[in-house]
Amino acid sequence: MSAVLQQLVSQPYQHGFVTDIEAETAPRGLSEDVIRLISSKKQEPDWLLEFRLQAYRHWLTLRAPQWQNVSHPPIDFQDIIYYSAPKPKKQLASMDEVDPELLRTFEKLGVPMSERAALAGVAVDVIFDSVSVATTYKKKLADVGIVFCSISEAVREHPELVRRYLGSVVPSGDNYYAALNSAVFTDGSFVYIPKGVKCPMDLSTYFRINTQDSGQFERTLIIADDDATVSYLEGCTAPRFDTNQLHAAVVELVALERADIKYSTVQNWYAGDENGVGGIYNFVTKRGLCQGANSRISWTQVETGSAITWKYPSCVLQGEGSSGEFYSVALTNHHQQADTGTKMIHIGRNTRSKIVSKGISAGQSSNSYRGQVKIGPRATGARNFSQCDSMLIGDRCSASTFPYITVQNTASTVEHEATTSKIGEEQLFYFAQRGIDAEQAVSMIINGFCRDVFIHLPMEFAVEATKLLGLKLEGSVG
């Protein structure tokens, strides 16, 4: 590979800054007292406190998993601040009342609320360090009966829904980090789309980790009732810190009869510097339950940030004829590590799933696809297709593929394909011949490689993702 390309990948992280907002924080460490404090701060009902405590007690009995293809120093869970919230301000009626400091933060991210809100009518539920401070377009959504609010608010306003569905897809004892999240989650989004409603706009949340050393434990719950349709966008950036920050979120999706949920993520958290110092640990449990017949859940993710990305957005295909989709681009550079993929659990008859995963590794990074496709004994007529392609840029990185296929039903078909490739000299030469420099050529080749995934992203995200990949790879191709 040419030396020119080698220089193209090292653009520094542009979103590295700390906004100084007075935060109310819990003491460092984790104990039942801290959980009680979080619960009382958020004025939660007893059943939720009980849910948290149960999860915490279960978590104490668990050991951190070892099977993953990522390595990191042991996490000191007693050295994390589990609750930090901006001081409560008076209730906000409009955007004008939002803390100007906060708005400026979004300006710096290049996503001004005003512009974003105007753009295609996206409603933004701003999560700023654990507590929602502004929710836009709420009224318009409320008119059609959609609930889109922070999960804390949902606990207060719609306790029956939260109680019924919280932990129904990812039980509190599901895994080590899900148990931790269940015990200490501080905020996140809640969406309920009533029967027959097609959500009039894409719903979006902009997450942002602020306050050094505060791990974030979001909890997102999206319920689409019979015949409902919703598209949800999640985008992430984080300020530049050298201390590793743990992010252990849980996302639960529930799709009832004929409901359709599309969940898109662009993740660009701080990945650490070229030497692998700092960066976010992104350990997330995302799972959707296609509970109703002919329901559909689609995950699309573009993972470019974080020191470690470790997540498997999954679908449990329970309803007859339900379908699950997973489209993923994971890019790692420098010392980043990614172990990501999906699980498609076919339970119901005639369930379908499709997996398209594109992994790009550069620098000294490690990028793994890990996926499970399970066809249960009753999933007659189930169908799966998986395609996992890896691209390696440079000879110090690695790409691995670990698909697990379990089939317990004869009348079903599972297909898995994986390939590995690199950006060829010939391809670059061809571009050079036509006067396109290496940097642009690489960007175009990568975009072509990822096209199957990008076409499933909402428009704004697709544009952002394309730019992001180009930016991330600058200096690493050579």
Partner 1 sequence: MAVVPDIAGGERASQPFAALGEGPSRAPAAWVSALVSRARDALPRLSLPTTGEEAWRFTDLSGLARESWRPVVSPGAVDAAAVDALLIDEARASRLVFIDGVYSPGFSDTRGIGDGLGVAPLAQALRADESGVRAQLGRLVGGDVDLFSALNTAALGEAAVVNVARGARGRAPIHLLFIGTDRAPASAVQPRLLLLAGEHSAVTVIEEYVSLGEGRGFTNAVTEAVIGENAELSHIRLQGEGAAAWHVGRVAVELARDARYAGVCIASGARLSRLDLAVRLGAPGARATVDGLALLDGRQHADSHTLLDHASADATSRQLYKSVCDGASHSVFDGRIVVRRDAQRTDSAQQSRGLLLSARAQINAKPQLEIFADDVKAAHGATVGQLDADELFYLQSRGMPAAQARRLLTYAFAAEVVERVPVRSLVQRLRARILERTGLATVETGR
Kindly list the residues in this chain that would bind partner 1 in the complex (CB under 8 A): 67, 375, 377, 390, 392-422
If the CB atoms of residues 160 and 395 are measured against partner 1, the closer one turns out to be 395
- What minimum distance in Å lies between the beta carbon of 398 and partner 1? 4
Burial class from Cβ neighbours inside 10 Å (0-12, 13-18, 19+) for residue 452 reads middle
Rounded Cα–Cα distance for residues 404 and 107 (Å) = 44
Burial class from Cβ neighbours inside 10 Å (0-12, 13-18, 19+) for residue 71 reads exposed
Contacts by 439-443 with C-beta closer than 8 Å and gap 24+? 439/4, 439/5, 439/8, 439/470, 439/474, 439/477, 442/5, 442/8, 442/470, 442/473, 442/477, 443/469, 443/470, 443/473
- What minimum distance in Å lies between the beta carbon of 394 and partner 1? 6
- What minimum distance in Å lies between the beta carbon of 414 and partner 1? 4
If the CB atoms of residues 305 and 403 are measured against partner 1, the closer one turns out to be 403
If the CB atoms of residues 393 and 469 are measured against partner 1, the closer one turns out to be 393
- What minimum distance in Å lies between the beta carbon of 407 and partner 1? 4
If the CB atoms of residues 261 and 399 are measured against partner 1, the closer one turns out to be 399
176-184 helix and 32-41 helix, angle to the nearest 10 degrees:
50
- What minimum distance in Å lies between the beta carbon of 372 and partner 1? 9
If the CB atoms of residues 7 and 409 are measured against partner 1, the closer one turns out to be 409
46-61 helix and 32-41 helix, angle to the nearest 10 degrees:
150
- What minimum distance in Å lies between the beta carbon of 399 and partner 1? 5
Work out whether strand 323-332 and strand 296-303 pair parallel, antiparallel, or are unpaired.
Answer: parallel
- What minimum distance in Å lies between the beta carbon of 419 and partner 1? 4
Rounded Cα–Cα distance for residues 71 and 54 (Å) = 29
Rounded Cα–Cα distance for residues 405 and 172 (Å) = 26
- What minimum distance in Å lies between the beta carbon of 373 and partner 1? 9
If the CB atoms of residues 10 and 54 are measured against partner 1, the closer one turns out to be 10
Q: What is the DSSP string of 102-130?
A: HHHHHHHTT--HHHHHHGGG-EEEEEETT
- What minimum distance in Å lies between the beta carbon of 404 and partner 1? 5
If the CB atoms of residues 81 and 373 are measured against partner 1, the closer one turns out to be 373
If the CB atoms of residues 11 and 421 are measured against partner 1, the closer one turns out to be 421
- What minimum distance in Å lies between the beta carbon of 1 and partner 1? 8
- What minimum distance in Å lies between the beta carbon of 380 and partner 1? 9
Rounded Cα–Cα distance for residues 183 and 185 (Å) = 6
Token pair of 452 as six digits: 């199957």
If the CB atoms of residues 36 and 422 are measured against partner 1, the closer one turns out to be 422
Rounded Cα–Cα distance for residues 406 and 419 (Å) = 21
Which residues are CB-contacts of 70 (< 8 A; sequence separation ≥ 6)?
A: 308, 310, 337, 338, 339, 366, 368
Rg of the chain taking only CA atoms, in angstroms:
22
If the CB atoms of residues 101 and 417 are measured against partner 1, the closer one turns out to be 417
Rounded Cα–Cα distance for residues 275 and 364 (Å) = 9
Q: Find the length of the chain.
A: 478
Residue 278 Rama label (left phi>0; alpha psi -120 to 50; beta): left
If the CB atoms of residues 80 and 414 are measured against partner 1, the closer one turns out to be 414
Q: What is the DSSP string of 272-335?
A: --TT--S-EEEEEEEEEEE-STT-EEEEEEEE--SSEEEE--EEEE-STT-EEEEEEEEEE-TT
- What minimum distance in Å lies between the beta carbon of 319 and partner 1? 21
If the CB atoms of residues 110 and 377 are measured against partner 1, the closer one turns out to be 377
Give the angle 267-270-276 at the CA atoms, nearest 5°.
Answer: 125
